[in-house]
């Protein structure tokens, strides 16, 4: 049976289970748990915590449960970043996060 529900609740796993992680590095791997009914995930990183843009990273990654930041994504040592994951399908979205880290 095909679901007609929005994505279910899910959680962030890494780079740290603790908010305000320090020394994460400029190419962390973000990981999250499964959201039921999600058709894809969006990785969002910004420097303000408002997630209203412009984003440092705003990438749709499909049905995977991790994303490794690329050098070309341009994270800078000593800068504080806020990250979250958005699960989505045609019926809506669910958001996990945000969390904060500093490479």
pTM above 0.95, yes or no: no
In this prediction, residue 67 carries a pLDDT of 96
Homologous superfamily, domain 12-102 = Immunoglobulins (2.60.40.10)
pLDDT digits (tens, 9 = 90+) for 87-102: 999 999 999 999 998 8
Is-cis flag, bond preceding 54, omega within 30?
yes
In this predicted structure, what is the pLDDT of residue 102? 87
Phi, psi of 57 (to 5 degrees): -135, 135
Report angle CA 63, 56, 96 to the nearest 5 degrees.
45
pLDDT at 21: 62
């Amino acid at each position: 049976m095909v679901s007609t529900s929005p994505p279910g609740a899910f959680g962030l796993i890494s780079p740290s289970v603790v908010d305000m992680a320090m020394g994460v590095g400029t190419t962390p791997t973000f990981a999250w748990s499964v959201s039921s009914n999600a058709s894809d995930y969006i990785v969002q990183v910004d420097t303000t915590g408002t997630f209203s843009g412009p984003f440092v990273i705003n990438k749709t990654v499909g049905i995977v449960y991790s994303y490794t930041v690329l050098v070309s994504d341009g994270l800078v040592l000593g800068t504080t970043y806020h990250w979250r994951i958005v699960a989505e399908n045609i019926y809506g979205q669910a958001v996990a996060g945000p969390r904060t880290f500093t490479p």
